[in-house]
């Protein structure tokens, strides 16, 4: 019987504190405003170079740069798989 009384007392305390708990906070959706690209992102002085960035026909030393770029990409494309196969075979042979 005393346990039943204790449960009733706890229930009364919970009911009494529910009113103060529900008033302490508000529920609802909240979002911040739309972000503007104010001082960065679309400012003209910082992106003046973008107008001529992809004019490849006007690039200085175009033949040298394109040749080196293609050779570098091709070399990486060939060397990495060869190194990977060699590494795997060396790792397997050591066991």
Cα 89 to Cα 67, 70, 73, 77: the distances in Å are 33, 29, 25, 19
In whole angstroms, give the CA distance from residue 14 to residue 8.
10
Domain boundaries, the chain: 61-95
CA 80 to chain centre: 28
pLDDT(32) > 80: no
Dmax (CA) of the chain: 97
Rounded to 5°, angle at Cα 74 from 69 and 76: 95
pLDDT(6) > 80: no
| Helix ranges restricted to H, 1-95 | 2-24, 62-93
Q: Could you tell me the pLDDT band of residue 21, with boundaries at 50, 70 and 90?
A: low
pLDDT by residue (tens digit) across 47-83? Answer: 566 666 777 788 899 999 999 999 999 999 999 999 9
User: What is the structure's pLDDT at 59?
Assistant: 84
In this model, does residue 22 exceed pLDDT 80?
no
């Amino acid at each position: 019987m005393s346990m039943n009384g204790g449960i009733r007392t706890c229930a009364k305390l919970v009911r009494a504190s529910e009113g103060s708990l529900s008033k302490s906070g508000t529920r609802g959706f909240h979002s911040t405003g739309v972000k503007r690209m104010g001082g960065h992102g679309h400012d003209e002085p910082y992106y003046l170079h973008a107008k001529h960035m992809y004019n490849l026909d006007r690039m200085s030393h175009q033949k040298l740069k394109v040749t080196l770029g293609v050779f570098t990409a091709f070399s990486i494309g060939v060397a990495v798989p060869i190194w990977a196969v060699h590494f795997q075979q060396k790792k397997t042979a050591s066991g």
